[in-house]
Structure 1
Amino acid sequence: MKHLTLTTAALALMAGTALAQQTTITIGMQLEPPNLDPTAGAAGAIDEVVYANVFEGLTRFGPDGEILPALAESWEVSEDGTEYTFKLHEGVTFHDGSTMDAEDVVFSLDRARAEDSTNAQKPLFAGISAVEAVDPLTVKVTLAEPNGNFPFNMAWGDAVIVAPETIEQAATTPIGTGPFTFTEWVQGDHVTLSKNGSYWGEAAKLDTVTFKFIADANAAFAAMMAGDVDYFPVFPAPELVEQFAGDPRFVVIEGSTEGETIMAMNNKQPPLDNVMVREAIAHAVNRQDIIDGAMFGYGTPIGTHFAPHNPDYVDLTEMSAYDPEKAKAMLAEAGVENLTLRLMLPPPTYARRGGEIIASQLREVGIETEITNLEWAQWIEQVLGGKDYDLTIVSHTEPADINIYARPDYYYQYDNAEFQAIIAELGVTSDAARRSELNKQAQEMIAKDFVNVYLFQLAKIGVANAKIQGLWENAPTQANDMTAVSWTE
């Protein structure tokens, strides 16, 4: 009897161990971030690792794009809309044990809006005229003009709160306030985060999160099938997704993103400084061929820089409908012949595959292209920073970012005072009906000016182990938020 009791206990212990919930996860990413400081880099891969996991802002994006409290538990707005007073959560600490308080918020916002700031989204902070620590848990932000969108601005990864003592090391050893702490970065392979046992909010359910960088689509497929990767939020080979759909071990997660995929044109580079030439190029491109050929049918055609799921979206695809004969006629009228344009392509498959298709389409109307494949660091330096390109293909995954067209020094080099006035008014308007009207005017203006060739809204096609729960379906911002993710037993 004693022997039986011991055996039963041993079996129970073994069963308990076997059924213990898994607390580690490996996330697949096609692109490796160039650094881990979201306040000093434009690459979306930075936020994909650290947003909400390592770093937090005053507010944050929720799974469906709603603006939620984060380090600020609440806020009040003055009657004239120029003062926001944020009440901070009590007991928040950075990962090094130091206290996060109002002075850190002042430092973070002043640093982001400083004249020498390297923040990739500096316009988010341009309307701030003063930031004041009222007391350790209260911050007052004074704006030069009313801005009903200010809590939205503060939710971006570029607006996270950092500490002056540790910000200089954030590129390689980030220290934030989030539910996960940085553990290691083996460059070229992975970044590992660990559960923050001293987190001020609801504790993470996972103990370890590893972001594994796999650039090759076939290698990504093999890693998922072998169980080396548990979740690929944006699977790099849409043509292989169907093989997961029929396998009960996996779930395919299809959602929407904020990613307007465009062929950007350098509006100051002759002959692209001629709107007739830009329009001709737009009519030479068949969007559906690119969606089918590069994305295997995943993606929604767009005719302007705005997400189709947004209530203010205007379908302007007909304005730049595929019409190669019209394209040829317009090029002839513009006096353009024997034209060769430099097409710079970053690493994503939509760019590399889409670029080959577009090159073929442009050739049909008499335009040759010189294709150069760039790594992200090269693309950021040469195209985004140096404006040394004619054409490029990229997906802008930042939320509601049509305001970038109001920046003459942005890499499109589009300079339209009327458009800038629309965005300026939008920035100080809180009335929903008027904001909607302005959004529509902005969409129509850049479509009419053929600033870029608007291709498709990037779909979010993810593949995950069927036992994982709490994953985001959509991508309202560039994030792989692990804060509510867990495994079922």
Structure 2
Amino acid sequence: MNRRFGARALLATSVFTGLIAAAPAFAETKTDLGLAMSTEPTGLDPTAAAPVAIGQVVWQNVFEGLVAINEDGAIVPQLASAWTVSDDGLTYTFDLEDGVTFHNGKAFDAETAKFTIERIIAENSVNPQKALYSAIESVEAPDADTLVVHLSRPAFDLLYWLGFPAAVMVEPTSAETNATDPVGTGPFAFAEWRKGNEVSLEAYPDYWGDKPALENVTFRFIADPQAQAAALNSGGVDAIPEFTAPELVSQFETKDDFDVVLGATGMEVVAGMNNAEPPFDDARVRRALMMMLDRQAIVDATNSGFGTPIGSHFSPSDAGYEDLTGVLPYDPDTAKALLTEAGYGDGLSFTMKVPNRTYAERAAEIMQAYFAQGGVTMTIESSEFPATWIKDVFKDTNYDMTIIGHAEPLDIGIYARHPYYFNYDNPEFDATMAEIANATDEDARLEGYRKAQEILAEDVPALFLYAWPKIGIWKAGLEGMWENEPVPSNDVTDAHWSE
């Protein structure tokens, strides 16, 4: 090779090398995800224990049900592709997906589903939500792809309850070990549980549905809010779906490399009243007290502005939600007039038993100040939670007013329970809940819930304050995470990193 040709070759090589160096390196899309949770679950089987932290790890990710509840609070098909309900509402026939396998390779079929439901309603069942399925009388599996459920009474909300973590499908040979080695049909299989630290999941290669974009998901347990914030800032975790320190959110709202996503949960914070005793047996008093409170101000003062004011016992995360805060809005003058009409023009006094939980204590103090402006004296009495509060308020109904967050999804029906700590008796409301149970289609069910909300908004058996917020903070580029949380969960089946 002569010198001139060699020099040209060297120059060309240098330029080509320089172009390669200058070009951006191809970046593969990230396929792993680290999430932080405040509470470590006691086990990993949601059909055997109540703590919501169990479902927040495994529901939808590892375990699936006949149906599911989506982010909008609607019932959607899952392992049952379709279903029909008999005209009398007593027979549910489910068409099951074909070709579904559990993570241990065993097939899911009607016999498996029959085993799961019979296990829930068995006399010796330890299922935390067993009472929800009490209408189920018997179960049949006429063929591998068909499940028939017979009820003793109409219960149209059974479909909703079947979407809960407590009703996920269980493979019989793994039933006794799911608490430590969960085996489901979901897109992720259990990989490892390092007690006190984290649970790891990995994509299941033979998943029957759409494959997840993520290959590995790790749930890390960090109780302290300051430590949660530090983990986000350091890159120790990618996301915290439920950030527990509202006062620290502002530091992430100003950073371009984080997304702060605000939504609602199914938990309603309400101030319950003993409706069987004066003065709360008079609806005018209850309405007056509701109109003395500025709900948004309570949210601002107690939760740094995070939370959604509500006008009934229903969350914005529930399908069929109506904003009824305008039924009895903040109106101190009208409130005083109502109290006078009810015979309390010279004042009113009562005691609020407050569980020793920060959100409840803060809200009680704000309510006390608002009531004082209206001539109402509310004495705050601290109550140890859960033991003392449950005994005095929940069991013995030995109280005037209290405040608590009701975390069970879609639990508006508690006002039709007799007995229950509100001591509320409204035949119209009870009849409406019966209409919901007797519904034969989703439209009728949702219409029933709208009517139930409106009855409570007018009659106020409790002072409806706000829906607990879902504060999600995660790295920019992470998509597919839930904004709202109608069921306590961390569903990452659609989560992915943008390219």
Q: TM-score range by the shorter chain?
A: 0.7 to 0.9
Aligned to 2:484: 474
Answer yes or no: is the 8 Å Cα contact 1:355–1:393 preserved in 2. no
Unmatched segments (≥5 aa) in structure 2 = 1-8
Aligned to 1:319: 328
Counterpart of 2:116, as a letter, is S
Q: Within 2, Cα distance between the matches of 1:174 and 1:208?
A: 16
Counterpart of 2:210, as a letter, is E
Aligned to 1:63: 71
Aligned to 1:92: 100
Answer yes or no: is the 8 Å Cα contact 1:284–1:327 preserved in 2. no
Unmatched segments (≥5 aa) in structure 1 = none
Aligned to 1:182: 190
Aligned to 2:3: none
Q: How far does the alpha carbon of each residue in 1:200-255 deviate from its partner, in whole angstroms, 9 at most, with x for none?
A: 32332223222233333333222222222211223223343333233221112233
Aligned residues, how many? 477
Q: How far does the alpha carbon of each residue in 1:139-169 deviate from its partner, in whole angstroms, 9 at most, with x for none?
A: 1112345555543332222221123433344
Aligned to 2:303: 295
Task: Specify whether residues 34 and 421 from structure 1 end up closer, same or farther in structure 2 by C-alpha distance, changes over 3 A only.
Answer: farther
Are residue 393 (structure 1) and residue 401 (structure 2) matched? no
SS state of the match for residue 29, structure 2? coil
What does residue range 110-259 of structure 1 map to in structure 2 within 5 Å? 110-115=118-123, 117-145=125-153, 149-259=157-267
Q: Residue 36 of structure 1: which of 19, 40, 44 is its match? A: 44
Q: Residue 366 of structure 1: which of 356, 363, 377 is its match? A: 377
Q: What do you get for the CA RMSD once the two structures are aligned?
A: 4.0
What does residue range 47-58 of structure 1 map to in structure 2 within 5 Å? 47-58=55-66
CA drift at 1:481: 0.9
CA drift at 1:433: 6.8
Q: Within 1, Cα distance between the matches of 2:414 and 2:126?
A: 16
Task: Specify whether residues 332 and 341 from structure 1 end up closer, same or farther in structure 2 by C-alpha distance, changes over 3 A only.
Answer: farther
Task: Specify whether residues 337 and 61 from structure 1 end up closer, same or farther in structure 2 by C-alpha distance, changes over 3 A only.
Answer: closer
Counterpart of 1:475, as a letter, is E
CA drift at 1:428: 1.0
Q: How far does the alpha carbon of each residue in 1:383-405 deviate from its partner, in whole angstroms, 9 at most, with x for none?
A: 9985788523215361x332232
Answer yes or no: is the 8 Å Cα contact 2:298–2:366 preserved in 1. yes
Q: Within 1, Cα distance between the matches of 2:78 and 2:443?
A: 28
Are residue 343 (structure 1) and residue 354 (structure 2) matched? yes
Task: Specify whether residues 412 and 295 from structure 1 end up closer, same or farther in structure 2 by C-alpha distance, changes over 3 A only.
Answer: same
Aligned to 1:354: 363
SS state of the match for residue 394, structure 1? strand
Counterpart of 1:403, as a letter, is G
SS state of the match for residue 140, structure 1? strand
Task: Specify whether residues 313 and 88 from structure 1 end up closer, same or farther in structure 2 by C-alpha distance, changes over 3 A only.
Answer: same
Are residue 483 (structure 1) and residue 493 (structure 2) matched? yes
The higher radius of gyration belongs to 2
Answer yes or no: is the 8 Å Cα contact 2:67–2:75 preserved in 1. yes
Task: Specify whether residues 413 and 108 from structure 1 end up closer, same or farther in structure 2 by C-alpha distance, changes over 3 A only.
Answer: farther
Counterpart of 2:246, as a letter, is P
Residues 421-430 or 23-32, more deviating: 23-32
Counterpart of 1:392, as a letter, is I
CA drift at 1:82: 3.6
SS state of the match for residue 26, structure 1? strand
Q: Within 2, Cα distance between the matches of 1:425 and 1:368?
A: 40
Aligned to 1:24: 32
Task: Specify whether residues 160 and 380 from structure 1 end up closer, same or farther in structure 2 by C-alpha distance, changes over 3 A only.
Answer: farther
Q: Within 2, Cα distance between the matches of 1:154 and 1:93?
A: 20
Q: Within 2, Cα distance between the matches of 1:187 and 1:26?
A: 16
Q: Residue 439 of structure 1: which of 446, 449, 470 is its match? A: 449
Q: Within 2, Cα distance between the matches of 1:73 and 1:380?
A: 44
Residues 47-56 or 170-179, more deviating: 170-179
Answer yes or no: is the 8 Å Cα contact 2:264–2:316 preserved in 1. no
Aligned to 2:413: 403
